[in-house]
A and B are shown apart, each in its own frame.
Chain A
C-alpha cells in the first residue's frame, strides 16, 4: 500500500479545523440520525422512538464494525481490494453458528442466554479466523490473486457447508440458512444489541490505540520490523479485532459482502483529499462515520420513502460489486 507512505512533513502538518473530515462527517451523521428518529413520527412517541433508537443502535454498531474491520484488514493484507467478507469471514461466522447448533442441539442452543451465546460465538470465530486467515495471509502474500480467489471459494464452501449442515439437522427448515446470503438491515437482531455495543466499543478503542502502529505496518513488513514494530504480534492483534468486529456485524444483520469495500475506498479518498494523508487515527473514524451515515440515510430512504424494507443490502451489494469489478479492470489489484 505504497500510497499511504507519506512524507513526514505532511503527517506533521496541522490542518485547520474546517478541514477536519471527522467534524463534518459527524455533523452529517447527527443530522441523518435525527432524520431517522423523528421523520414522520406520530402516535405513540415513546414506543416508536424506542423502536427506532434500537434499530439505529444496530446500524451504528454494524457500520462501525464493517468499516473499521475492513480498513484494518486492508492495511494488514497490504491490499486495497480485499475485505473480510470477500475473504469469507462472515460466511465462516454463519457456518460456525450452524455448527454450534448442530453440536449443542437446537434446544440446548436456544437455552443459552443471548449474551453468553454471542460471546461464545465471537470467541470461537476469533480462534477459527486466526488459524485460517493467519495462515492464508502468510502463505499467500506473494500471490494476491490466488489468495483472494481462495478466500472467495472458502466463503462459498462455508455457505454451502452451512446449507448442508442445516439440511442434515432438519431437512425441512433449510429456509433459515438459505435466507442469510444477504444482509437484512431492517430486521436487525436487537436482542444481542447491548452486548454487541459493548464489544464494538471495546474493539474500536483498541483499534484507535492500534492506529499509529497500523500506520507503520502500512509501510510494509520489512520496514515495520526495521522500525522496531513487533510485526507478528500487531498482525495477530489486528486479525483478532477484525474477527470480533465481523462477528458483531454478522450477528446483527448477516453477511454484508461488498459494503466494506465501498466504505474503505471512500474513507481513503476523503482523508487523502482533506488531510493530505491517511493516518489510521483519521482513517478509522472517517470510515466508521461514512459507513454509519450511508446505512442510516440508505435505510431511511428505502424503508420510509420507498417502503422497501429489505432492499438496501441488495443495492449496496450491486454497487459494491460494480466498484470491485471497476477496481479489477483498472488493474488496482494491490
Chain B
C-alpha cells in the first residue's frame, strides 16, 4: 500500500502544479490587481481548469467501470459506441425540438448513450469467449456504424459542424463560467462509482462470484451502465469526446496498484484529471497564440499508449491473459 500512497501524493502535487500553470497561462495577460484580470480568472481560467480536471477524472472512472462490466481491459466509452450514441440522442433532440432546454438535451443524450452501451454489452456476449481482443474491435466498429448514422443525418441536416465538436475533438477553449457546469454532473456520477467501488470490483470477478456473494450482477451492471452513460453524455454535450483517457489511465493504474477499486479509483480519477489538464496546457502553449484541442493531442498520445499496452511483453505467468468475457 506504500506505493499507492506515493502515487496518490505525487499525482496530487502534479495536479496542483498543473492547475497553477493552467490558471496563469493564456492569450490574455492577467493582472490580478485589475478587475478585468480577476474576471478573466473567475470566468475563464478557473472554470477551464476545473472542466479539464472533471472531464479527465470522470472519463477515467467511467473507463474503469466499463472494464469491470464487460470484464475486458481494452474497452472504454469512446470505443464502445457510447459517445456516438450520446451524439445521436443529442442530434435527435436538436432536430426535433431545437428550443429544448439544456436539461432535456442532457437527459436525451444520457438515455441514448445508455441504450447504445447496452447494445454493445448484449452484442459482445455473442462473441467467442476466449477471443479477448474481439471485444474492443467489435466496440470500435459499432462506434463506426453509429457514427456513420450520425454523420449521415448531420450531412442531410447541415449539422456537421456540431457533430465535429461533439465527437471528433474535445476541447476546452469554449469553456467559460456558465457553460461547463454539466461536467459537475459527470463528476457526481463518477463519485457514485466510488461509493459502489466494491460492488464493481466484485462484478469484475464474474457474475457467478457476484451472485455467490449475494450481489445481483444485473443491478450492479445497470448502475455501472448508468454511470458510464451519464459521464459520457455530459462530456459530449459540454466539451466533446476526449479519446483514450478511459482506456490508458485505468490500465496504467491497474499495472501499478491493481484493481482493488476502492483503493485504485481515487488514483485513477486523479490520473485522468492530470492527463487531460496536461494535454490542455500543451495544446495552449505549443502553437500559441492559437490552440490545439486536448482531444487531438490525446488522440495521438492515447493511441500510442494503447499500442504499447497491446504489445508490451507478457507478464511472467500464463494466467496474465484476461478472463473470458461471459458477462
Q: Do chains A and B touch in the complex (CB under 8 A)?
A: yes
| A156 CA / B137 CA spacing, docked (Å) | 13
Closest-CB distance, A131 to chain B (whole angstroms): 16
* B296 close to A314 (CB less than 8 A): no
Closest-CB distance, B43 to chain A (whole angstroms): 23
* B292 close to A168 (CB less than 8 A): yes
Q: Which residue of A lies closest to B128 (CB)?
A: A331
Within 8 A of A (CB), among B291-327: 291-292, 296-297, 299-300, 303-304, 306-307, 310-311
Tell me, yes or no, whether B155 is within 8 Å of chain A by CB: yes
A324: chain B residues at CB < 8 Å are 141
Tell me, yes or no, whether B27 is within 8 Å of chain A by CB: no
> In which size bucket is the chain A interface?
35 or more
Closest-CB distance, A277 to chain B (whole angstroms): 29
Q: Which residue of B lies closest to A182 (CB)?
A: B151
* A314 close to B141 (CB less than 8 A): no
Tell me, yes or no, whether A146 is within 8 Å of chain B by CB: yes
- Given A145-B137, A171-B287, is A317 in contact with B148 using a C-beta cutoff of 8 Å? yes
- Given A153-B303, A161-B300, A311-B155, is A167 in contact with B148 using a C-beta cutoff of 8 Å? no
Task: Map CB proximity to A onto B149-175 as digits: 1 under 8 Å, 0 otherwise.
Answer: 101100110000000100011000000
* A156 close to B303 (CB less than 8 A): yes
A329: chain B residues at CB < 8 Å are 123, 126-127, 138
* B303 close to A157 (CB less than 8 A): yes
Tell me, yes or no, whether B132 is within 8 Å of chain A by CB: yes
Q: Which residue of B lies closest to A314 (CB)?
A: B152
Report which residue of A317, A321, A331 has the largest number of chain B beta carbons within 10 angstroms of its beta carbon.
A321
Task: Map CB proximity to A onto B98-133 as digits: 1 under 8 Å, 0 otherwise.
Answer: 000000000000000000000000010011100111
Our pick among B126, B131, B141, B307 for the contact of A333 (Cβ within 8 Å) is B131
Within 8 A of B (CB), among A276-334: 308, 310-311, 314-315, 317-318, 321-322, 324-325, 328-329, 331, 333
* A308 close to B156 (CB less than 8 A): yes
Closest-CB distance, B321 to chain A (whole angstroms): 11
- Given A163-B299, A318-B148, A328-B141, is A149 in contact with B310 using a C-beta cutoff of 8 Å? yes
| A153 CA / B126 CA spacing, docked (Å) | 23
| A149 CA / B292 CA spacing, docked (Å) | 27
* B296 close to A325 (CB less than 8 A): no
* B144 close to A321 (CB less than 8 A): yes
B74: chain A residues at CB < 8 Å are 149
B148: chain A residues at CB < 8 Å are 314-315, 317-318, 321
> In which size bucket is the chain B interface?
35 or more
* B299 close to A149 (CB less than 8 A): no
Tell me, yes or no, whether A42 is within 8 Å of chain B by CB: no
Q: Which residue of B lies closest to A165 (CB)?
A: B300
Closest-CB distance, B208 to chain A (whole angstroms): 24
Tell me, yes or no, whether B134 is within 8 Å of chain A by CB: yes
* B140 close to A318 (CB less than 8 A): no
Within 8 A of B (CB), among A135-156: 143, 145-146, 148-150, 152-154, 156
* B152 close to A315 (CB less than 8 A): yes
Q: Which residue of A lies closest to B293 (CB)?
A: A167
Task: Map CB proximity to B onto A165-199 as digits: 1 under 8 Å, 0 otherwise.
Answer: 00110011000001001100000000000000000
B300: chain A residues at CB < 8 Å are 157, 160-161, 164
* A171 close to B292 (CB less than 8 A): yes
* B155 close to A314 (CB less than 8 A): yes
Tell me, yes or no, whether A159 is within 8 Å of chain B by CB: yes
| A315 CA / B149 CA spacing, docked (Å) | 8
Q: Which residue of B lies closest to A330 (CB)?
A: B126
A325: chain B residues at CB < 8 Å are 123, 138, 141-142, 145
Tell me, yes or no, whether B286 is within 8 Å of chain A by CB: yes
| A37 CA / B147 CA spacing, docked (Å) | 33
Our pick among B152, B243, B287 for the contact of A311 (Cβ within 8 Å) is B152
Tell me, yes or no, whether B136 is within 8 Å of chain A by CB: yes
* B303 close to A150 (CB less than 8 A): no
Q: Which residue of A lies closest to B145 (CB)?
A: A321
Q: Which residue of A lies closest to B142 (CB)?
A: A325
Closest-CB distance, A239 to chain B (whole angstroms): 20
* A328 close to B138 (CB less than 8 A): yes
| A149 CA / B290 CA spacing, docked (Å) | 34
B299: chain A residues at CB < 8 Å are 156-157, 159-160, 163-164
* B134 close to A333 (CB less than 8 A): yes
B133: chain A residues at CB < 8 Å are 143, 145-146, 148-149
* A160 close to B303 (CB less than 8 A): yes
| A160 CA / B170 CA spacing, docked (Å) | 12
B291: chain A residues at CB < 8 Å are 171
| A153 CA / B308 CA spacing, docked (Å) | 11
B123: chain A residues at CB < 8 Å are 325, 329
Tell me, yes or no, whether A257 is within 8 Å of chain B by CB: yes
Report which residue of B137, B286, B310 has the largest number of chain A beta carbons within 10 angstroms of its beta carbon.
B137
Q: Which residue of A lies closest to B300 (CB)?
A: A160
B292: chain A residues at CB < 8 Å are 164, 167-168, 171
Report which residue of A148, A182, A328 has the largest number of chain B beta carbons within 10 angstroms of its beta carbon.
A328
B290: chain A residues at CB < 8 Å are 167, 171-172
A258: chain B residues at CB < 8 Å are 144
* B142 close to A157 (CB less than 8 A): no
| A308 CA / B300 CA spacing, docked (Å) | 33
For the complex with contacts A145-B131, A146-B310, 7 further pairs of A-B residues with Cβ separation under 8 Å are A145-B132, A157-B307, A160-B299, A168-B287, A311-B152, A325-B142, A328-B127
The 9 A-B pairs with the shortest beta carbon distances in the complex, nearest first, are A160-B299, A171-B290, A145-B133, A157-B303, A321-B145, A318-B148, A314-B152, A317-B148, A160-B300
Interfacial residues, chain A to chain B (CB-CB below 8 A): 143, 145-146, 148-150, 152-154, 156-157, 159-161, 163-164, 167-168, 171-172, 178, 181-182, 257-258, 308, 310-311, 314-315, 317-318, 321-322, 324-325, 328-329, 331, 333
Q: List 25 A-B contacts (CB under 8 A).
A: A145-B134, A146-B311, A148-B133, A149-B133, A149-B310, A150-B311, A152-B137, A153-B306, A154-B303, A156-B299, A157-B304, A160-B243, A160-B299, A163-B296, A178-B168, A182-B151, A257-B144, A311-B152, A311-B155, A314-B155, A317-B145, A321-B144, A322-B145, A325-B123, A328-B137
